Amino acid sequence: MELNGIKPAAGAKHAKRRVGRGIGSGLGKTAGRGHKGQKSRSGGFHKVGFEGGQMPLQRRLPKRGFKSQTLKYNAEVTLTALENLGLAEVDLLALKQAGLVGQIAKVVKIIKTGELTKAVKLTGIGATAGAKAVIEAAGGSVA
């Protein structure tokens, strides 16, 4: 390979559209900008959502709902995931290291999805009523 033979990948570069270059180009005179008005001028622009002074759509619609910022600290783990983990004692740190919950999770709950055959002791982790019954039936405990 020589320095004079280096070329960009095929399709990486393409010619820029040349506008305002005479009648024959099909984009002469107004260069595809139409006649007059703010959008035909150089530097003519407006904010996203601006509707010419009319009340914008995002302000006409009512505000609705609320998204709790504390939900990102909550996580849930299924019985199937607990079964596959294969640990006798499970705590928050073990779940984080296994990648079952996010690193910022503070509250973890076991939910009843799937089956559990191994005895698992949970410390510092909650469980739904159905999941707790399955865990205790398998010989485990929820503390």
pLDDT-based confidence at 44, cuts 50/70/90?
Answer: confident
Q: With 90 as the cut, is the pLDDT of residue 109 above it? A: yes
Q: Shortest CA distance to 110 belongs to which of 60, 67, 71, 76? A: 76
Is residue 59 assigned to a domain?
Answer: no
CA angle 101, 107, 111 (to 5 degrees): 70
pLDDT grade for 45, boundaries at 50, 70 and 90 = confident
Range of the domain at 91: 71-142
Q: What pLDDT does residue 125 have?
A: 95
| Number of structural domains in the chain | 1
What's the distance, CA 130 to chain centroid?
Answer: 31
Q: 23 in a domain, yes or no?
A: no
pLDDT digits (tens, 9 = 90+) for 18-28: 999 999 999 99
**Domain of 119: which CATH number?**
3.100.10.10
Q: Which residues of 113-140 are buried (b: 16+ CB within 10 A; e: fewer)?
A: eeebeeebebeebebeeebbebbeebeb
135/80 Cα distance (integer angstroms)? 11
Name the residue among 59, 40, 39, 41 with its Cα closest to residue 49. Answer: 59
pTM of the model: 0.57
pLDDT tens digit string along 89-98?
999 999 999 9
Q: What average pLDDT score do residues 120-124 get?
A: 95
Average pLDDT score over residue span 37-64: 93
Cβ(110)–Cβ(76) below 8 Å: yes
Domain-located, residue 3? no
